Chain A
């Protein structure tokens, strides 16, 4: 039986006021299950990233609700939300947002440091995760010395080090070449996706659709279709 990780009901989000008001997401309801790799796809401006932000506790909706394992996300305080994101959600941003002044290992260790775990223990655990993504030898280098693919893997290691049960990736292959992108998503599917974890990916890169369990198609802020992916959970 499928266990629901994220349940979104009647989500609406608009930006601006009056005549300048733009409806980004309209009446979207969606269930995301553990053990699946869900893609949110659609053209630019279709509301994918806005939806992803709302279901991951980043952006407050104007209407509707989001529950993570039954816990209403948007009734929580800002600090409560921050704590939830830190402990349960791993983020991989489109531009990676790695700190150029820190070493690769220190970048990976950030979620643990934010959890107030000891510095040295966090770095040691970061080395373990760097090994998992094949970058142990790059641990002491700053991220700017790494290739795009390597930086993406560092970002993934950072997202995974806190062992989140929800992994959120925003356009993970946007700045990677075709092979590297496929390898990254393949790695996520084979190494990181487990029955206790869900992976939500926003993308419009058709080259990686084959790894999806389900694909949510969006247009003009609405879900226009949900299809089973080539790789069903």
Chain B
């Protein structure tokens, strides 16, 4: 490693890490700050991901809905003619209805458990989940339901195949156990069945179609489909756009995004305060030494590089420890709380990286300003 590193950087490294108390305070400050930032943002990312779980799990290319829909669960029923209209659009290969609603399951012990019911198109079962037990065709059997094996599965008593339960006083039989990409946000189990069975089990409003799932003939047809649907007063969005729509609603309309941002900013300020102050003290304590280096013949630009290296090294060490600590905490939390929604994403890491970079930049700027003002003559003067 040494041969790869410039001697000046080794010097900077040793001056930094050999001052253990300062180095630990610096790294501790940035680690704490990173931990808080990643924790906040990953919790929010987890919530957003779960809020869009149905979208992710069904995975349709295009979703048609009422423009007033904000979240998947707050669907507004679509009149039947919308389905007919969508099917008549030139670029549509096929379009099917999707039901999404809530029901109460009466468990064998007599207690009730709210569930989400997803009703798949009877003809195609488009949007069906991957099964880990059972066969999807059994959904056509009497009272057939597929239960999702996610963090909420145990709330139904982890029912095996052929287990029976009551949904809104109707008999339901588990014919499959499914695994999906993402668990829901509401903390309730999810059951899949056919569209017709869903609307017969769950009391419905006049219009029962929550969404229309569209398969375009080609990706290039999506723009035209969107325009045609819009002309009817409805909204067509791609899978990704629907996820973004849900995320944006949670982020900007619920206050959760603002709170998360506030917490991230507070974490950033805490990190900046601790690290900036400690780094400045480090520079002050070594001021005469930096002056001596200048007197001996170190150029100002090299001193700046040295301080930048120290700041960046500290920042990256703190970032790594902070991310590691946060990941470990999420892992431990998940062992105890399977529903724990935090999710570390590349975006979270990027936010933390940028914030830590700013902390390093500000700290080193303060240090550099001080060091560049040092006159080597002051070393002679004492």
Q: What's the Cα separation between A113 and B377 when bound, in Å?
A: 22
**Does B349 make an interface contact (CB < 8 A)?**
no
In the complex, identify which listed stretch (B14-22, B79-87, B100-108, B197-205) lies at the interface while the others stay far away. B14-22
Q: When the two chains form the complex, which single residue of A52, A79, A110 contacts B293, counting CB atoms closer than 8 Å?
A: A110
**Does A231 make an interface contact (CB < 8 A)?**
no
Q: Please, which residue of chain A has its CB at the minimum distance from the CB of B291?
A: A97
**Cβ–Cβ contact A106 & B14, under 8 A:** yes
A49-B380, A52-B380, A106-B14 given as contacts; is B296 within 8 A of A116 (CB)?
Answer: no
Q: What's the Cα separation between A116 and B11 when bound, in Å?
A: 11
**Cβ–Cβ contact B299 & A79, under 8 A:** yes
Q: Please, which residue of chain A has its CB at the minimum distance from the CB of B23?
A: A101
Q: When the two chains form the complex, which single residue of A82, A106, A112, A170 contacts B294, counting CB atoms closer than 8 Å?
A: A82
Q: Please, which residue of chain A has its CB at the minimum distance from the CB of B301?
A: A79
**Does B114 make an interface contact (CB < 8 A)?**
no
Q: What's the Cα separation between A85 and B380 when bound, in Å?
A: 15
Q: Please, which residue of chain A has its CB at the minimum distance from the CB of B376?
A: A58
A95-B382, A99-B289, A102-B18 given as contacts; is B377 within 8 A of A86 (CB)?
Answer: no
**Cβ–Cβ contact B14 & A82, under 8 A:** no
B17–chain A nearest beta-carbon distance, Å: 9
Q: Mark B361-382, 1 if CB is under 8 A from A, else 0.
A: 0000000000000011101111
A49-B380, A97-B289 given as contacts; is B295 within 8 A of A85 (CB)?
Answer: yes
**Does A209 make an interface contact (CB < 8 A)?**
no
**Does B154 make an interface contact (CB < 8 A)?**
no
**Cβ–Cβ contact B297 & A83, under 8 A:** yes
**Does B6 make an interface contact (CB < 8 A)?**
yes
**Does A122 make an interface contact (CB < 8 A)?**
yes
Q: Please, which residue of chain B has its CB at the minimum distance from the CB of A174?
A: B382
Q: What's the Cα separation between A58 and B297 when bound, in Å?
A: 10
Q: Mark A30-53, 1 if CB is under 8 A from B, else 0.
A: 000000000000000000010011
A42–chain B nearest beta-carbon distance, Å: 15
**Cβ–Cβ contact B7 & A93, under 8 A:** no
Q: When the two chains form the complex, which single residue of B18, B291, B380 contacts A94, counting CB atoms closer than 8 Å?
A: B380
B22–chain A nearest beta-carbon distance, Å: 10
**Cβ–Cβ contact B14 & A85, under 8 A:** no
**Does A118 make an interface contact (CB < 8 A)?**
yes
A-B contact count (CB 8 A): 93
**Cβ–Cβ contact B300 & A78, under 8 A:** yes
B305–chain A nearest beta-carbon distance, Å: 12
**Cβ–Cβ contact A170 & B380, under 8 A:** yes
Chain B residue contacts of A146, Cβ below 8 A: none
**Does B317 make an interface contact (CB < 8 A)?**
no
**Cβ–Cβ contact A119 & B380, under 8 A:** no
Q: Please, which residue of chain A has its CB at the minimum distance from the CB of B300?
A: A78
Q: Mark A63-89, 1 if CB is under 8 A from B, else 0.
A: 000000000000000110011111101
Chain B residue contacts of A95, Cβ below 8 A: 288, 382
**Cβ–Cβ contact B380 & A58, under 8 A:** yes
How extensive is the interface on chain A, given as a class? Answer: 35 or more
Chain A residue contacts of B298, Cβ below 8 A: 82, 86, 114
Chain B residue contacts of A113, Cβ below 8 A: 7-8, 10-11
Chain B residue contacts of A111, Cβ below 8 A: 296-297
Q: Mark A103-125, 1 if CB is under 8 A from B, else 0.
A: 00010001111101111101000
Q: What's the Cα separation between A194 and B301 when bound, in Å?
A: 34
**Does A59 make an interface contact (CB < 8 A)?**
yes
Q: What's the Cα separation between A207 and B12 when bound, in Å?
A: 39
Contacting B at CB under 8 A, from A147-171, are: 158, 170
Contacting A at CB under 8 A, from B111-156, are: none
**Does B2 make an interface contact (CB < 8 A)?**
yes
**Does A91 make an interface contact (CB < 8 A)?**
yes
Chain B residue contacts of A99, Cβ below 8 A: 15, 289
**Cβ–Cβ contact B382 & A94, under 8 A:** yes
B349–chain A nearest beta-carbon distance, Å: 32
Q: What's the Cα separation between A90 and B377 when bound, in Å?
A: 15
Q: Mark B272-295, 1 if CB is under 8 A from A, else 0.
A: 000000000000000011011111
Q: What's the Cα separation between A95 and B291 when bound, in Å?
A: 12
A93-B379, A101-B18 given as contacts; is B11 within 8 A of A82 (CB)?
Answer: no
Chain B residue contacts of A59, Cβ below 8 A: 375-377, 380
Q: When the two chains form the complex, which single residue of B300, B375, B380 contacts A93, counting CB atoms closer than 8 Å?
A: B380
**Does B302 make an interface contact (CB < 8 A)?**
yes
Q: What's the Cα separation between A97 and B295 when bound, in Å?
A: 11
B166–chain A nearest beta-carbon distance, Å: 73
Q: Mark B257-282, 1 if CB is under 8 A from A, else 0.
A: 00000000000000000000000000
Most buried by A among B5, B297, B379: B297
Task: Give A residues with C-beta under 8 Å from B.
Answer: 49, 52-53, 58-59, 78-79, 82-87, 89, 91, 93-95, 97, 99, 101-102, 106, 110-114, 116-120, 122, 158, 170
A-B contact pairs, 20 of them (CB 8 A): A53-B380, A58-B377, A59-B377, A59-B380, A79-B300, A79-B301, A85-B295, A85-B297, A86-B297, A89-B297, A91-B295, A102-B15, A110-B296, A111-B296, A113-B8, A113-B10, A114-B297, A118-B7, A122-B7, A158-B296
Task: Give B residues with C-beta under 8 Å from A.
Answer: 2-3, 5-8, 10-11, 14-15, 18-19, 288-289, 291-302, 375-377, 379-382
A-B interface, 7 closest residue pairs, ranked by CB to CB distance from nearest: A86-B297, A101-B18, A97-B292, A113-B7, A85-B297, A59-B377, A119-B7
